[in-house]
Amino acid sequence: MKKTVTQMPDGRRLIYYDVRDDVARDEVDARYATRAVTTSEVRYDPLRGEWVLIAAHRQGRTYQPPSDECPLCPSPAGHSEIMAAGYDVVVFENRFPSLTGHGGPDALRAVQGLRAPGRHWESAPSAGRCEVMCFSSDHEASFADLPPAQVALVLAAWTDRTAELSRTPGVEQVFLFEDRGKETGMSLVHPHGQIYAYPFVTPRTERVLAAVAAHRDRTGRNLFDDLLATESRGERVVIQGRHWTAFVPNAAHWPYEVHLYPRRRVPDLTALDDDARAEFPDLYLDLLRRFDRLFGAEPGPVPYISAWLQAPVAAPEDFALHLELFTVRRSPVKLKHLAGSELLMDVYVNEIAPEAAAARLRELG
């Protein structure tokens, strides 16, 4: 992998990741030099114990543009963020970010101070960073269309961004994800994902860490290890590789939901060994293609969300890196909409039994 760091005229960073070492990235980007005005705040909800990002500038972000105006296609034209004639993988700072600061000790202290008594109705600048990762220069492709070598490059880029952002002052957790399909809220069709570098540990992660700690106190064992050992020998396994296991969780929230774990527990992508990295591309592509065959060709590409859950920067010991993949479609003509129970009480209702979902996904291999 060759990594080339460049700068856009408005000061944002753009990084090329190329398979070949002899690719030269010496383009001079002389387009618009005015940075988009971004104002974003972090607020803390003391009743729910949750962080909320207030980012009013995102109301005007690019949404479902025509294909000839896609900002992620390689083009020297003004509509594109990427002026190169072509690329393998590209990462750049989001022009309409939810997190608009670059962190630092002062920014981190301001965010963490919102938990203090009497400060719950205040706000702090949204330290952190939001980046966009383009998986391919082909506008019509999807992740499942990529060759294994391209997926290996994406994995290397994910790992590199995790490592660099984890070292950034003020960043507490790095989150990588992809939404595909308008049904998931995706605003651009081009195959891409996003990276959030949070200035706090996310509420879900805090709940998971509390459960892991309680299990350790009660049993002396790691909760992730026990979960994976149980699921690996059960009827909800979808794919069993030498270094990865994919299964539908016992308490799946979504109609078709798969969790993918390395069989050796590691806290984040930077800790994966070479064997796990080598096996990942073919196995993950197999999983995505099974999802694409779930409902046949008529409804179109399956909308899904795929995300890496990684340990917080400061608490990696007991956390287990894993990928979660799910679709919001429950039949060729029906979507799983979150309603009152899910949205307000955090109690999910799943219309498809996890064992039936796993059996269906195994059939599609």
Residues labelled as active-site residues? 192
Are 135 and 5 in contact, with CB atoms under 8 Å apart? Answer: no
Chain-centre distance of CA 311, in angstroms?
Answer: 13
DSSP assignments along 33-48, one per residue: -PPPP---EEEEETTT
Q: Which residues are annotated as a binding site for Zn(2+)?
A: 70, 73, 139, 190
CB within 8 Å of 88: residues ≥ 6 apart:
16, 17, 18, 19, 136, 137, 150, 153
Written as six digits, the tokens of 101 are: 């600061």
Written as six digits, the tokens of 173 are: 């957790």
Are 212 and 224 in contact, with CB atoms under 8 Å apart? Answer: yes
Q: Which residues are annotated as a binding site?
A: 70, 73, 139, 190
The closest of 92, 100, 101, 62 to 74, measured between CA atoms, is 92
Q: Is the dihedral of CA 262, 265, 267, 270 positive or negative?
A: negative
Q: In whole angstroms, give the CA distance from residue 193 to residue 224.
A: 26
Q: In whole angstroms, give the CA distance from residue 227 to residue 243.
A: 16
Q: In whole angstroms, give the CA distance from residue 147 to residue 185.
A: 26
Are 218 and 324 in contact, with CB atoms under 8 Å apart? Answer: no
